[in-house]
Amino acid sequence: MNRNVRVSLVLAVTILVWLLSGLWFPQKMQSGSDLGAGDIVALTQVQARYLSWEYYSPTMKLFAETHANRHVFLRAQITGEVISTPQARGVFVTAGQTICELDSDGRQADYVSAQSSFHKSQLEYTGFLSLKRNQFQSELTIARAAADLEKARVRLDLARDAVDNLQIKAPFNGFLETRSAEVGDYLQPGGLCGSIVELDPILVRANATDLQISYLETAQLVDFEVKYGEKYAATINYISSVADSKIRTFLVEATFANPASHLRAGVLGNLIVTAPRVIAHQIPGSVLLLDDNGKIIVRIISDGNVVENVNVTIVGESEYGIWVTGLPETVALITVGQNYVLAGEIIVPVFEGKTNE
């Protein structure tokens, strides 16, 4: 047997013995229940940090938009030709100002006639009552006079309403947003004259998720912050009881004073809600993980350097990290290496700012 063959045989035998040694002397993986005396285990090293609880007031920002507090369309109650539109579109009008005026078309004369008829019926009824006291008038005649007086009163009321409806007036202070009728137009009952919007107070609408809605209640004080930084103190006056079927959120409305209608409808911003303070921990966002059920967890170190999964709830965020609830008051949080260890595993922690001894 030559030298090369002998060298090859020695190498083959050495490799075979090394492979078979794994069957005779297996190296056990570390776990809290598998460790025993004499086991040789390579423990995973992670970086950790001690954290203590703090009081935190969760702040939510809900995307919001301003709306008119009231937006009313002014419509004709009677038929008639428009003979006057004294207010220009876009101007501020006060309650009672005329927006459109219709041609009388004999209604003023009807009103004068109805007044005369009512006055006559009233005199007759009073006279019959006087004669009754002297027993010169029958009950039947008095009843007929009372009926005539009531008919005259109804006719007068209708004639007065017809005259009043000749002028289509602003029902409240606001802006004449649109004016749909012009002089010469002929309006039917229901015909559109224009629309009025009220911007003081102004309305803010936002949508909140089912988690956010738990922090909201009516009469709660909030802030509306516009895109360019100005803030306005507002009060929540409505929270929807039913979620929108398409976007699965709840409508939230708040109002605040808007002197001189400084803000217009359609301005975008955020509704800022400060919830009651809670006990929470501020942690790096990088340590958040998801368990098999899709719930948010972090990994901490419990007694004996054993890894433990803890479910947490996010309640806020800042430039320094994420605020969560659900952790013990003081906790050793794994900050680096949490993706490479499992719950129940024993690890070697290296705490930030310290060297492992």
Q: Which segments within 33-107 are labelled E, that is strand?
A: 44-52, 54-56, 59-75, 80-84, 92-93, 98-102
Per-residue confidence band for 227, with pLDDT thresholds at 50, 70 and 90: confident
Query: What tokens appear for 47 in the block?
Result: 């970086």
Between 187 and 109, the more confident residue is 187
Residue 29 has pLDDT above 70, yes or no: no
Question: For residue 84, what are the CA distances in angstroms to 72, 87, 104, 130, 180?
Answer: 20, 9, 12, 49, 13
Three-point CA angle 89, 95, 101, nearest 5° = 60
The predicted structure's pLDDT at residue 162: 86
Between 302 and 3, the more confident residue is 302
**Per-residue burial over 56-68, b = 16 or more CB atoms within 10 Å of its CB, e = otherwise:** bebbbebebebbb
Residue 169 has pLDDT above 90, yes or no: yes
The predicted structure's pLDDT at residue 134: 59
Residue 74 has pLDDT above 90, yes or no: yes
Residue 319's φ and ψ, nearest 5 degrees, are -70, -15
Least confident piece of the model among 10-14, 287-291, 300-304: 10-14
Residue 354 has pLDDT above 50, yes or no: yes
Look over the chain and give the mean of its residue pLDDT values, rounded to a whole number.
85
User: Quick one: average pLDDT of 192-205?
Assistant: 96
Residue 234 has pLDDT above 70, yes or no: yes
The predicted structure's pLDDT at residue 26: 42
Residue 132 has pLDDT above 70, yes or no: no
The predicted structure's pLDDT at residue 324: 93
Residue 315 has pLDDT above 80, yes or no: yes
Least confident piece of the model among 33-42, 212-221, 328-337, 339-348: 33-42
Residue 29's φ and ψ, nearest 5 degrees, are -75, 145
The predicted structure's pLDDT at residue 46: 93
pLDDT tens readout for residues 13-25: 566 555 554 444 4
The predicted structure's pLDDT at residue 353: 67
Q: In angstroms, rounded to a whole number, what is the distance separating the alpha carbons of residues 215 and 297?
A: 22
The predicted structure's pLDDT at residue 23: 43
Residue 257 has pLDDT above 50, yes or no: yes
The predicted structure's pLDDT at residue 356: 44
- 344 SS3 class: coil
Domains along the chain with CATH numbers: 44-56+278-351 (2.40.420.20), 60-68+199-274 (2.40.30.170), 72-194 (2.40.50.100)
pTM given for the model: 0.65
